Amino acid sequence: MSGEQDGDGTAPTAPEEAESAGSVVPLPRSPHSTEILLEVGEAKILQFTRRPPITAIAELVWNALDANATHAVVELRRTSLGAISQIVVSDNGEGITPQQAQRSFREYGDTWKARKTHTTGNQRILHGRMGEGRLYAFALGESFTWDSVSVVDGAPVATRISADVRRPTKWHIDEPVKSGLPTGTVVRIQVPQDKRLRALEAADAAANLTAKLAFYLKAYSDVLVEFDGTRLNPDAIIETSKTLELDLPPEYTGDEVPPFVTFVEWKKRMSDRKMLICNADGIALAEDGEDWSDSVVAFTPYLRSDRFNDLSTEDLHMLAMTHSSLLEAATKAIHKHLRERSAEIAVQVVRQLKDEGIYPYPAKATSATELVEQRTFDVVVTVARNALPTKGTARKLSVDLIRTALERSPSDLHGILESVLALTDEDRNHLSRLLTRTELADVIGAATTVTNRLDFIGALRKILADDQLRKELREVDQLHPMIAQNLWLFGEEWTLARPEVGLTAVLDAHLSLLGPDVVLENKLDTVRRADGTLGRVDILLFRRIGDERSNERIIIELKRPSVIVGPDELQQITSYARAIIDNPQYRDVPSKWQFYLVTYDYSKEILRDIRQKDKAPGLADDQDEYQVWVKSWGEILDAAKRKLSFFRQQLNYEATDERVTQHLRDSYAHYLPEALKEAGRGATNT
């Protein structure tokens, strides 16, 4: 059956209508129409305009099923541009009698269902008993009509009821007329042009509606419901279901049928995943809480209890207060089963890849990091399992791409999952949230950081140890930018440090104390010679961490590799430090300053200054407000490598010459001496 098809005996069509698609003007009424006032305030009615569209459609279908309909059809009529202009819900049920219309559309909550548990003739379980189902139409449009044929005194009678959201308490009931049509009801909802019903237009709309009606449709196989041309079939979308026993609070243990959760898994992901509150038979009465979201399992939990049978809409909305302990027990059971089920699916996916010979990891991980990476891979490939090619080279390539991305950084995954595997936006978002909130991504991110740092240490050592490379290394546009990106060499806290513009003037004012060839890092553009080449200078880096209450500052003078630091240079950096500290702008301001003089080598003449008893090596001047350090690159790189030694052992990683050179080319190509660039091009050509 389909709604509003005159002459096929499905539903009444009298009186005649003059309607146009998308019109929000109420349909013409009979001159014998009676206006009745729904005895409840406008605010009470208008709250239904905020109900979810799928829930509203479900309520209209429930009304049909409660009237013993065996066939209910939801039509979405569209404009030439594809927008929904009218919703028609038709059924072959028992219809609405004139007496029921007068009573139910006048008094809020008054319905013949309130005093019954089953439909007429005890054919099926009743869903609604609150007299609110018709008001859900307000969530879908602006004007509404119910055309219904029922049997009165053995003869079919047609009744029309109409309403308008602009006058929500006023309802019009036409004088009933005799009809030659079978019983049934057609609900017509006019949708205004500016109203979008995206939930009804979504690809999973029919599946979401099926989820709400699933247990009813499985219980009554003779019932047929259609939505926008699709027959609702729970068996077509249910993967599996399981009953979850709850650790019930004492007040529920004595129930004749103790509350329980039915955990239903779907074959594909659906956007509507709130827990459904149901009676013990699984008839959905309301939704509770936020959407359940999981990256592996697509599911809907149904909390079932006879305690929910006679609750009003307000009572159902108050469940978080009145049945909080039961909801908490249900949530715990769902979380527990979800963890177990996700693990089961992951094991199945990994076993299948191993059976196919394309699982990219050995039977036993060779290091702690590889174990973490492997576990992360298992999570990712499980989430992406339905998007993987089913067989052949493409499937193996996809698996290899995921592993390659994990070896570098989890962030590389998104491009692969989007362009290669065509993973849906929702699944990618699920995976992103999963990786963000687990330690796996943190460990892999840390592993990447450690290996990159080890490579950088090895790379810088390679340059400084080679006479030719050290001679070619330019401080201004090569050494400086590499060090500026790796300030962790001076302490992990400086990784997030930032330049301090306000310090420039003070540093510049006393710069002459350091000699004629020292330039602030933000003024390096001034050191070009007339021929455009860069001058050989010392560079002063400066960074700050902290806030308005307390600050730490680091000032680093990068000496040219050709300079051997001696007493003069030490005296210069010490005088400079004291001049900065004594500047009125920073005097008595809570702050700690670190001054570093970094050089390729220093003379034996200053060993007593930088090797003082009970002082850290390199500390030449130690005051409350500041410290002055002299460090060679060898000392800095050795100390940094020692800090990373534990992680290096766990990673089983060795920064070989080939690796560090490649790291330089990959990460610092713009800053390399020409000899390294040429070597790289030669290797590529061969």
Per residue in 530-541, pLDDT tens? Answer: 565 566 788 889
Answer with the residue of higher pLDDT: 683 or 581: 581
Answer with the residue of higher pLDDT: 528 or 26: 528
- The pLDDT confidence band at residue 112, using thresholds 50, 70 and 90, is very low
Model pLDDT, residue 127 = 67
The stretch 198-217 carries a mean pLDDT of 90
Measured distance CA(277)–CA(287) in Å, rounded: 6
Model pLDDT, residue 282 = 82
- Among the listed residues 138, 140, 111, the one whose alpha carbon sits nearest the alpha carbon of residue 127: 111
Model pLDDT, residue 12 = 37
Q: Give 343's contacts (C-beta < 8 A, 6+ positions apart).
A: none
- By CB atoms closer than 10 A (0-12, 13-18, 19+), residue 557 is buried
Model pLDDT, residue 114 = 46
Model pLDDT, residue 441 = 54
For residue 66 the two structure tokens come to 């409660």
Residue 4 has pLDDT above 50, yes or no: no
Residue 606 has pLDDT above 90, yes or no: yes
Model pLDDT, residue 349 = 93
- Condensed to tens digits (0 to 9), the pLDDT of residues 371-411 reads 777 887 888 888 888 778 888 888 888 888 788 777 765 55
Average pLDDT, the chain: 80
The β-bridge relationship of strands 551-558 and 299-304 is unpaired
Measured distance CA(265)–CA(538) in Å, rounded: 66
Please tell me what DSSP assigns to residue 388.
S
Model pLDDT, residue 255 = 92
Residue 263 near residue 242 (C-beta atoms within 8 A) = yes
Crossing angle for the helix pair 53-66 and 205-219, to the nearest 10 degrees: 30
Name the phi and psi angles at 274, rounded to 5: -70, 155
Hey, what amino acid is at 36? I
Residue 189 near residue 86 (C-beta atoms within 8 A) = yes
Choose the weakest-confidence range: 67-81, 127-141, 156-170: 127-141
Q: Give 551's contacts (C-beta < 8 A, 6+ positions apart).
A: 544, 545, 589, 590, 591, 592
Does this model's pTM top 0.85? My answer is: no
**In percent, how much of the chain has pLDDT > 90?**
35
* 534, containing H or E segment: none
For residue 645 the two structure tokens come to 């030694």
Q: Give 466's contacts (C-beta < 8 A, 6+ positions apart).
A: none
The stretch 436-455 carries a mean pLDDT of 67
Cis peptide before 389 (omega within 30 of 0): no
For residue 471 the two structure tokens come to 């001679």
Residue 646 has pLDDT above 70, yes or no: no
Hey, what amino acid is at 120? T
Choose the weakest-confidence range: 18-32, 284-298, 473-487, 502-516: 18-32
- The pLDDT confidence band at residue 364, using thresholds 50, 70 and 90, is confident
Hey, what amino acid is at 434? L
Measured distance CA(325)–CA(251) in Å, rounded: 10
Residue 252 has pLDDT above 90, yes or no: yes
- Residue 458 has a CB neighbour count (10 Å cut-off) of 20
For residue 579 the two structure tokens come to 């001049």
- The pLDDT confidence band at residue 463, using thresholds 50, 70 and 90, is confident
Terminal-residue alpha carbon distance, the chain: 74
Mean pLDDT comparison of 193-207, 413-427, 487-501, highest-scoring range: 193-207
- By CB atoms closer than 10 A (0-12, 13-18, 19+), residue 22 is middle
Give CA 530 to chain center in angstroms. Answer: 55
Measured distance CA(427)–CA(383) in Å, rounded: 7
